[in-house]
Chain A
Amino acid sequence: MRYGTSSRLGGIIKQIVLAIGAVFILAPFVQMISTSLKSSQDIAQGGLNLIPREWAAFENYSEALSATPLLQYMLNGVIVTVCIFTLQVVIALPCAYALAKLRWRGRGTVFALVLLCLLIPPHAVAIPVYILLFKMGILDTYASLILPFIISVFGIFLMRQFFMTVPDDLIDAARMDGMSEFAIVWRVMAPTAVPALVAFGIFSVIAHWNDYFWPLIVLSSEELYTPPLGIATFRTAEVGYVFGPLMAAATMVIAPLVIAFLFAQRRFIEGITLTGMK
């Protein structure tokens, strides 16, 4: 690349350095998968063997699935993230369009409010929102997991930035055709904004799939638990030395996002970069 000639040895050294760093990065994953395949005797014996001396893969994974409703937790994760993202889009897109393409008094103020809200960290609003849900009587429901997050100022900001790059003639043409502004948002703007929508979606799904704090405080019924809460429960429930099934559970919990990532790497990284660089 840039370095031209001196790079053969340099390249090898770099790969070695990266490999050493990768040991630190991958160690937990290796520990997790390896232990999930071992029997409890094998684990108790100690040692650094990565390949199990005594295989118990089937036992561990089925134990993990039966001791806790892990699949139910995953399903909850799916329900919650899909609902949150869908509603986020429904609410954010029209607002982003109005901010980007329409001229109206108050537009500047509203955008300033969006920027201000971007600064508010989620933990800061936890107490009042919790009290609100409590008074509404909807604590410990799917609604309590979904509703607080349907406003995504980040999404509004992202989509507004993107919409501003859409050529006006596209919109004017639609208006000439008699399309209402509402129709324009969904029939014209949304289809052109797929890359930004994907980035938004990735960001939203990852954040809410992995959210531990909020489900922890609003839920008490185990059947509503999302994956992070589920595995934390599994850990506290298994007070004995059942590390095999615990690691199996961990493997299953992280599997969906990791596999999705490995298949769609570029999309993920583009998404993170796009959202990061604003």
Chain B
Amino acid sequence: MPSTDTMAFGGPSPAVFVHAKRRSLAAHLTAYALSAPALFLMALLLIGPVLVVLMMSFTDYSLGNASFEWVGLANYAEMLEDDVFVKAIGNTLLYVGIVVPASVFLGLGAAMLIESLTFGRAFWRAVYFLPVMATLMAMAIVWEFMLNARFGMISQLLALLGLPAKNWLQETSTALPMLMVIGIWQALGFNMVLFMAGLTSIPRDLYEALELDGGSSSWSRFWTVTWPLLSPVTLFVVVITAIRSFQVFDPVHVLTKGGPNNASMVLIYQLYQEGFDFFRSAYAAGLTVVFLIFIFAITWVKSRVMEKNVHY
């Protein structure tokens, strides 16, 4: 790395060159030393494992076995025949497909409502953000009680209205939808806060300019100024919510175990089952690779959309 004095003189004088080299050597060593622990751990706990997972997916390894065989694409072939896998992918995509739009729109709505208030902003913000703070596992169990067909709030309310109660989480048609409700319930507040940050960074004068131009209805305000300027935030929120929803696990494990009859089976749950219940490590590794492909696809879509559509 040439220092400025060598470049200024058009060629290194020996003394300057040696000095520069010695200085940068010391700087190099220090830099390496400072970042070595992090690099080592990144290799050991992040990059290495991803490579291991990739390779493992081509074997038949099970934890506890002394040895393993290379089996090529056998695991992937099994996946295509695996009803559970097909259900898992389908349910996960459905879950993401509902939770993302719902929690993004509701979060945006809440953010816009709260931001435009004259008082009570901090209060409402706290209220709507509460689900994000509360340990999902505990709240999932509370939701389960709320949905309890005999004692929960929801069934009591239905009884009051003369409607029959259902065992929401135990029925094939309502198990996954209920999980979606819980997912939306939690994601809403998080998205709201991100949108609020985005909204406050929109310059006021744009709205004033719009007023002067004669377009001052709420709708044109939103469509001409707010929405375009929010697009980077919106994109970010959509991607983050999609990635997080894709990884749904906690409520599934504690409330439905993927049932009834795989009605609420999701990808990470199957990964957990195969990898840590059945210890079919290689097959679970294959599932992990599929999972990674989806996650990378979502991220890739984000960068493509970023290039094309985001207004600045």
* A interface residues with partner B (beta carbon < 8 Å): 1-3, 7, 11, 14-15, 17-18, 21-22, 24-32, 35, 43-44, 46-48, 91-92, 94-95, 97-99, 102-107, 110, 113-114, 116-117, 119-121, 123-132, 134, 148, 150-151, 153, 156, 180-182, 185, 206, 209-210, 212-213, 216-217, 227-229, 231-232, 235, 241, 243, 246-247, 249-250, 253-254, 257-258, 261-262, 265, 268-269, 272-273, 276-277
In chain A, what residue has the closest Cβ to B37? Answer: A91
Classify the secondary structure of B's interface with A.
Answer: helix
Chain A residues contacting B73 (CB-CB under 8 Å) are none
Task: Given A134-B63, A269-B193, check contact A246 B145 (CB 8 Å).
Answer: yes
Would B145 and A243 count as touching, CB distance under 8 A? yes
* B194 interface neighbour in A3, A114, A276, Cβ under 8 Å: A276
Which 10 A-B pairs give the minimum distances between C-beta atoms?
Answer: A228-B137, A151-B41, A125-B49, A95-B38, A128-B49, A104-B31, A94-B34, A95-B35, A128-B52, A98-B34
Q: What are 26 A-B contacts defined by CB distance under 8 Å?
A: A14-B113, A18-B114, A24-B185, A25-B128, A28-B185, A35-B145, A43-B151, A46-B150, A46-B159, A110-B39, A121-B295, A125-B53, A127-B284, A127-B285, A130-B275, A182-B34, A210-B137, A213-B250, A231-B137, A232-B137, A250-B141, A250-B142, A261-B126, A269-B125, A276-B193, A276-B194
Asked if B22 is at the interface of the complex by the 8 Å CB criterion, the answer is no
Complex Cα distance A1/B121, Å? 12
In chain B, what residue has the closest Cβ to A230? Answer: B137
Would A212 and B250 count as touching, CB distance under 8 A? yes
In B137-159, which residues have CB < 8 Å from any A CB?
137-139, 141-143, 145-146, 148, 150-153, 156-157, 159
Task: Given A25-B185, A156-B38, check contact A258 B142 (CB 8 Å).
Answer: no
* B interface residues with partner A (beta carbon < 8 Å): 1, 24, 27-28, 30-32, 34-35, 37-39, 41-42, 44-50, 52-53, 56, 63, 106, 110, 113-114, 116-118, 120, 122, 124-131, 133-139, 141-143, 145-146, 148, 150-153, 156-157, 159-160, 185, 188-190, 193-194, 196-197, 204, 207, 233, 236, 240, 243, 247, 249-250, 253-254, 268, 271-272, 275-276, 281, 284-285, 288, 291-292, 295-296, 299
